[in-house]
Amino acid sequence: MSQLLDMLNKHKIVAIFRGYEGEQADLAAQALVDGGIRLIEVTMNSNDALATIGRWRERFGRTARIGAGTVLDAAMAREAVAAGAEYLISPNLDEEAITYGVEHGISVWPGVMTPTEIVRAWKAGAEAVKIFPMGSLGWKYLAEIKAPLHHIPMLATGGVDLHTIGQYFKAGAAAVGMGSKLLNPDWVKAGEWDKLTEQARRFVGAVTELQADQR
């Protein structure tokens, strides 16, 4: 098991930054880190994504691990890794991007939906897969596909909030990816960083409680 996969299994929340840049993004990320978030994904379709990844690698050091999201192909994978991304996440399955990650020691968690795609990604070398779009499929779908594919770690992205997070983990999710439910856009716009930190603490606390119940 790689260090990044170990972190995914331990911390269980990946914060998704899409469409934020500059000081606003920096302060929002700091707020989430202060609240206990340890995995942050900067999507490649955000303005200044590569610069943000590089800046956050320096700013957060080993406190939080910074990855690139919306990595659609091997070319984008190369750009993201060159900028400092420690792991790659995508909404789609691109086996060349997975191969690039494997060859360079970078964890790749590709987006998949069907059992066939999940197994293809796993055979290509993906350490975990991102089940997407979970907001439409729902945790019951996850539970159904996890039953025969229990050996493959799955990151559930979409549809996760404080009321449903427990259901996703009980359905078999190794971790969850979260955007606006964690990174409230109104709070970011208003600069209400304390609210972001408190929200992060709520989700981290929910994970801690679920982990305690499973012991």
- Encoded tokens for 120: 């293809």
Catalytic residue among 12, 86, 130, 146: 130
130 assigned to active site: yes
Q: How far apart (Å, rounded) are the C-alpha atoms in residues 204 and 186? A: 21
Distances in Å between the Cα of 169 and the Cα atoms of 26, 134, 139, 153, 186 are: 29, 13, 9, 11, 28
Tell me if residue 41 is catalytic.
yes
Cβ neighbours, 10 Å, residue 79: 16
Helix (H, G, I), strand (E, B) or coil at 153: coil
Single out the catalytic residue among 41, 86, 127, 146.
41
Q: What is the DSSP letter of 115?
A: H
Dist CA 88 CA 98 (whole Å): 9
Q: Which residues are catalytic?
A: 41, 130
